[in-house]
Structure 1
């Protein structure tokens, strides 16, 4: 069980596998008014940066679920580095359908809503682990402006324009699901640059040490095309944010 290898190669040096920075996660943790002992569930927890830093800074406890063997191992090491192994645990598993044994104060899926088949399904899944009065966190892309053509959408990594909402549409969609949006923290261009551009050096170093790997040609093609594609499409059209929701 693992994610496609292209991601574990290109993002192997990342601590955060989305356009957030450590500062943005700190802002979000403060905005949520986290308190010691609060329980957090993080589906698709990646390398564990959100859980580990919040445990260090706020004394929360939590569990992160991720199917990447590499990111799971990195999350465990990060917990050890920050001295929070008594507060957080990480589980190597498929987060699809995962429900916490004990109700949590915050149930999160930050950038992996495919786990629930989309935003609505992921919210429905997270709600099954949430205690009364708890908060759901959804990390999701949105269009800064709607692409004029489907080709532009595909250049941004979407399958179609309809894959994402604009920001007002996304907030309205949460309203339609009978959730109040009680906080949001949005990525900025610096966060996008750090997330995307950091992959390029990682891929280049990997190619230098793995020239005969079966994936080398694909990595080479991606490294060649990604800077221009990112600058022309993702950087111009795609936003990303984490949205805090409470059921009415």
Structure 2
């Protein structure tokens, strides 16, 4: 199996591809969409789970998503039709960094996808290009909650701590108006769901040629989490407004 197929299996029981529970997602969307009739853009939308949840509860909302994965976007379109929101959702298959729109957006989302732009600040630069005056950005980023082990650094690279992460955002011209730091329960639930889904699929399909690879991946990733980064990794979502227009 390729990386995309592995990811699809891993997130079968956790469609929000970040360590957030449903209540946290709902609260973040409420702070990002105070009116309910906004235009929303998700850069790196994957299966568009954030957009689908926003659209399902806000009948006057319109949304667009950008992602390189044809498989993920096909799944998003099918889900949108099932929810009856497909007429208010436009999906673009392309690199998020190359997306251009003729109209600005009231909310720009990028949760767990800053790697597509080369980091947190480049993602905010991209979001700024799409943002309407007075608009908001909802961004999710990893940070070090405690000093990381060498294994953790190898897995996630050069992250900052929470205070430094927020300081960088503020220095870049943004003001946080809401935030959520994933709890230990959210972080653990996400990891157990991902590697448990992979392992279950492998055990349920022993005759599939990919089963050994999938099970080995589940075991390796679970071990890397438990032995490498569980005690140091954190995740924060920020709702931001431009400090000055």
TM-score (norm 2): 0.87
| Partner SS, residue 99 of structure 1 | coil
For residue 52 of structure 2, what is the aligned residue in structure 1?
Answer: 52
For residue 205 of structure 2, what is the aligned residue in structure 1?
Answer: 209
Mapped partners of 2:65, 2:90: distance in 1 = 6
Displaced runs of 4 or more, over 6 A: none
**After the TM superposition, which of the residue ranges 4-13 and 164-173 deviates more from structure 2?**
4-13
Mapped partners of 1:80, 1:190: distance in 2 = 33
The 1:27–1:109 alpha-carbon spacing in structure 2 relative to 1, beyond 3 Å, is same
The 1:14–1:100 alpha-carbon spacing in structure 2 relative to 1, beyond 3 Å, is farther
For residue 28 of structure 2, what is the aligned residue in structure 1?
Answer: 28
Unaligned runs of 5+ in 2: none
Deviations 1:172-194 (A, max 9, x none): 00122121122112222222233
For residue 192 of structure 1, what is the aligned residue in structure 2?
Answer: 187
Mapped partners of 1:212, 1:57: distance in 2 = 40
Mapped partners of 2:187, 2:71: distance in 1 = 22
Mapped partners of 2:44, 2:207: distance in 1 = 31
The 1:169–1:211 alpha-carbon spacing in structure 2 relative to 1, beyond 3 Å, is farther
Shift of 1:171: 0.6
Tell me how large the CA RMSD over aligned residues is. 2.2
Mapped partners of 2:101, 2:45: distance in 1 = 14
Paired positions, count: 240
Unaligned runs of 5+ in 1: none
Mapped partners of 2:4, 2:87: distance in 1 = 31
TM-score (norm 1): 0.86
